[in-house]
Structure 1
Amino acid sequence: MQKDIIISLGTNLGNREENLYRAISLLENKTITIIEISSAYETPSWGFKGNSFYNACARINTFLSPYELLKELLKVEEILGRKRNKKNGYQDRVIDLDILFYGDEIIFSNELKVPHSKLHLRNFILLPLIELTPKLIHPVLKITIKELYHICPDDSFASKVNIDLNFPPIFDSFSYLSIEGNIGVGKTTLAKMISKNYKINLQLENFSTNPYLELFYKNPKKYAFRLENHFLVDRFTNHTKFWQKKPQAVVSDFCLYKCLVFAKTNLSKNKFSLFNQKFNIDIKNKKNPNLIFFLKSSTSQLLKQIKMRERNYEQEIKPEYLDNLDRNYSNILNKIFIPYVEYSVEGIDFENDEIEFKKILRVIFKKSFYSKNPK
């Protein structure tokens, strides 16, 4: 059974803002889901003389036991450069992660104390906690978090930091992000959501103006070459016009290399060879994305979503066609020199589930500093 758990995050070394973003992104994996994150607060160092801290709290869900969760927290601390030692007293730290509450459990051991033994004495914990769960009753002290704050002896000043920890700074590292994937997987939906939340430029494929699209689905052999050539010219023309405006940050629902994926799937060997030659000429000096975020889903799920969006010409798409596209996407992504991340959206409604949408943002951000594949 999943438990509702609250952890604290603190940092006073290096880029404190970035440390919090990185810690949150690293925490989230197959076993931990971030449900809610508080504001960050800047407070003086507590118990020693040092740099001021950025502090925050996060509510998470996990199947992990308290001790398994503690190991995950320590692992994240180590990745970010913290090495805990037995030195007496408090000290500066690049990141500090603690379990504050693990449901209503009470744990008192040498390794772990839950609820955190000093949380009721610290404004820098109580303030973000009030944002998340003001009515939570402390299982030992038997009063709410809000009541604890009002009687807390800590009179140190805490100021809210002007950052939103829900939206990591993706575009500091990836000024041009391309969302890719098979037909019906949700590329345009995700690109629009990212553009809206980050208030950045949106580049969309203008597929509906291709006069051969509906004809192709009725007679693929006859119209495939004309279809793909029209897409090639149209995508490159619009791409050039778009980048002439010199946008600073962009999210797109396609990548130019998509041309090769569909041409490889739809054209004969000889015609693809001709197409590929033209593509290789046209692609020179074109702006490529810093990262391709590739959405994955099962063929059966793709077919359901294609049916739901009710484009008449797509309704006869066969599973084999989607399978071929998926294979060709995989082959081409592995040949080009653009970093990419594959992410399964099987059974995920990120359009209507804010938790899942923000999880995607953290996976993208994680790629900017952590080389291992997202879990």
Structure 2
Amino acid sequence: MLEPIIISLGSNIGNRIGFIYKALALIEEHPVTIRELSNVYETPSWGFDSTPFYNACAILKTSLKPIALLKILLNVEDKLGRKRYSEKGYQDRTVDLDLLFYNNEIIHSKDLKIPHPKLHLRNFILKPLLDIAPKFKHPVLLKTITELNHHQLDKIKIIQTNFNLSLPPIFKSFPFISIEGNIGVGKTTLAKMISKNYKVKFYSEEYNSNPHLENFYKDPLKHALRTESFFLNNRFENDKIFWQQNNGKVVADFCFFKCLVFAKQNLKKNDYNTFKKDFDQKMDKIKIPSLVIFLTKNFRELEQQIKKRDRSFEREIKLTYLKKLEKGYHLIINNFEFPILEYSLDNIDFNKNEFEFEKFLRAIFRASF
């Protein structure tokens, strides 16, 4: 296997799993990507008598040097309320982050010791390591994690929990998430992935029900008002029906405010002013998202995606129109009161890289605290 960078995470104070979720999210604020996560295990406190710990391990990818990565881990501990006392011995921790391995490097300095000198003695470290790096060979002991686990003498009781660290609790703070962005950015694909993984309702825009859309892309000036008016009224009526039938957690592949984005770009001034009055009246009756995620992607990839999906009514879309919409979104979104998270999908394909999808979820979760 590739030589990994591996950390351990532990917590035994307060919302233990919450602190671990937060630690993972905060680590990725830096130039670090979490590539793989273990299960979460509960074990008695080690070396002192206190509340049981939740423990896990993670494989990281980063260009940071070991000491720079260590400083990030210490900073995350501080942000999450880790207290350090002058007394020697083991203590309770909101979160405990240890750098276990950095590839095959062996470092023995005042500030950092890699591999972690006691990891082979601790069942609560070896067990999650088995999940993610069973064949990795300890660079000092020259035994694999599997071999170390077979020979370790720590008989501490360890219980696997049902927590999934790949799915942070994003809907706890944001029960209604809307995904927005330019044509071809991947709103529907992403919303469906979230819906499937979290088992929440998927609220989809019925864009293909607009009878004026194909004519609009052929002759925008002639068909703009009919196209945008249909979208406005159709989205409004569908919204009423949807929320009469659903009241749980929801992810949508659009947000009602997009009516204004497209109308601003496509309508004449007088038509837009009339449209805006109708929009404002309807907006007061629309269910507001807990969070809007605004996706961005470079125009080359947008054009490729539009061409790839080959919708007949999109074949006339020009690059200039995509650029107008992108500018329009940025002008409009800053005027709304609901939270907005902007996220770049440049050179990212969630279907090919699962860890990128999980990183995206942690960015959403990070917006909640």
TM-score of the alignment, normalized to the shorter chain, above 0.5: yes
2:337 matched residue in structure 1: 337
Query: In the aligned structure 2, how far is the partner of 1:327 from the partner of 1:338?
Result: 19
8 Å contact kept, 1:201–1:247: no
8 Å contact kept, 1:176–1:251: yes
- List gaps (5 residues or longer) in structure 2: none
Runs ≥4 in structure 1, deviation > 6 angstroms? none
Query: In the aligned structure 2, how far is the partner of 1:172 from the partner of 1:53?
Result: 23
Alignment of 1:95-134 (within 5 A): 95-134=95-134
CA RMSD of superposed structures (Å): 1.1
Task: Please give the per-residue CA displacement for 1:199-227, whole angstroms capped at 9, x wherever unaligned.
Answer: 10000000101000001011111110000
1:277 matched residue in structure 2: 277
Task: Please give the per-residue CA displacement for 1:166-201, whole angstroms capped at 9, x wherever unaligned.
Answer: 000010110000010000000000000000111100
8 Å contact kept, 1:190–1:351: no
Give 3-state SS (helix, strand or coil) of 1:292's partner: strand
1:161 matched residue in structure 2: 161
1:373 matched residue in structure 2: none
Query: In the aligned structure 2, how far is the partner of 1:297 from the partner of 1:86?
Result: 49
1:138 matched residue in structure 2: 138
2:64 matched residue in structure 1: 64
Task: Please give the per-residue CA displacement for 1:245-295, whole angstroms capped at 9, x wherever unaligned.
Answer: 233100000000000000001001111100000011111132110001111
8 Å contact kept, 2:184–2:305: yes
Corresponding letter in the other structure for 1:311: R
Alignment of 1:204-215 (within 5 A): 204-215=204-215
Corresponding letter in the other structure for 2:102: Y
Query: In the aligned structure 2, how far is the partner of 1:32 from the partner of 1:85?
Result: 29
Task: Please give the per-residue CA displacement for 1:91-135, whole angstroms capped at 9, x wherever unaligned.
Answer: 000000000110011111110111001101100000000111111
1:4 matched residue in structure 2: 4
Residue 84 of structure 1: how far off its partner (Å): 2.9
Q: Is 2:192 aligned against 1:192?
A: yes
Corresponding letter in the other structure for 1:294: F
1:19 matched residue in structure 2: 19
Q: Which moved more, 1:345-354 or 1:230-239?
A: 345-354
Query: In the aligned structure 2, how far is the partner of 1:30 from the partner of 1:125?
Result: 24
Task: Please give the per-residue CA displacement for 1:137-160, whole angstroms capped at 9, x wherever unaligned.
Answer: 111111111111122121110000
1:175 matched residue in structure 2: 175
1:48 matched residue in structure 2: 48
TM-score by length of 2: 0.98
1:356 matched residue in structure 2: 356
Query: In the aligned structure 2, how far is the partner of 1:148 from the partner of 1:335?
Result: 57
2:308 matched residue in structure 1: 308
Query: In the aligned structure 2, how far is the partner of 1:85 from the partner of 1:321?
Result: 60
Query: In the aligned structure 2, how far is the partner of 1:3 from the partner of 1:283?
Result: 53
Query: In the aligned structure 2, how far is the partner of 1:315 from the partner of 1:106?
Result: 57
8 Å contact kept, 1:182–1:295: yes
- List gaps (5 residues or longer) in structure 1: 370-375
Give 3-state SS (helix, strand or coil) of 1:137's partner: coil
Q: 1:30 to 1:347 in 2, by over 3 A?
A: farther
Corresponding letter in the other structure for 2:229: N
Identity over aligned pairs, percent: 53
Corresponding letter in the other structure for 2:204: L
2:236 matched residue in structure 1: 236
Residue 30 of structure 1: how far off its partner (Å): 4.9
Query: In the aligned structure 2, how far is the partner of 1:298 from the partner of 1:38?
Result: 34
8 Å contact kept, 1:42–1:161: yes
Residue 352 of structure 1: how far off its partner (Å): 2.5
8 Å contact kept, 2:34–2:355: yes
8 Å contact kept, 2:3–2:136: no
8 Å contact kept, 1:3–1:62: no
TM-score by length of 1: 0.96
Number of equivalences: 368
Residue 316 of structure 1: how far off its partner (Å): 2.1
8 Å contact kept, 2:133–2:145: yes
Task: Please give the per-residue CA displacement for 1:304-354, whole angstroms capped at 9, x wherever unaligned.
Answer: 111111112212211111111111111111001011111110111113320
Residue 23 of structure 1: how far off its partner (Å): 0.6
Give 3-state SS (helix, strand or coil) of 2:194's partner: helix
8 Å contact kept, 2:11–2:94: yes
Query: In the aligned structure 2, how far is the partner of 1:126 from the partner of 1:240?
Result: 53
Query: In the aligned structure 1, how far is the partner of 2:367 from the partner of 2:305?
Result: 28
2:347 matched residue in structure 1: 347
Q: Which moved more, 1:8-17 or 1:311-320?
A: 311-320
8 Å contact kept, 2:293–2:342: yes
Query: In the aligned structure 2, how far is the partner of 1:87 from the partner of 1:329?
Result: 55
Alignment of 1:61-100 (within 5 A): 61-100=61-100
8 Å contact kept, 1:3–1:61: no
Residue 3 of structure 1: how far off its partner (Å): 6.5
Residue 38 of structure 1: how far off its partner (Å): 0.2
Residue 29 of structure 1: how far off its partner (Å): 3.5
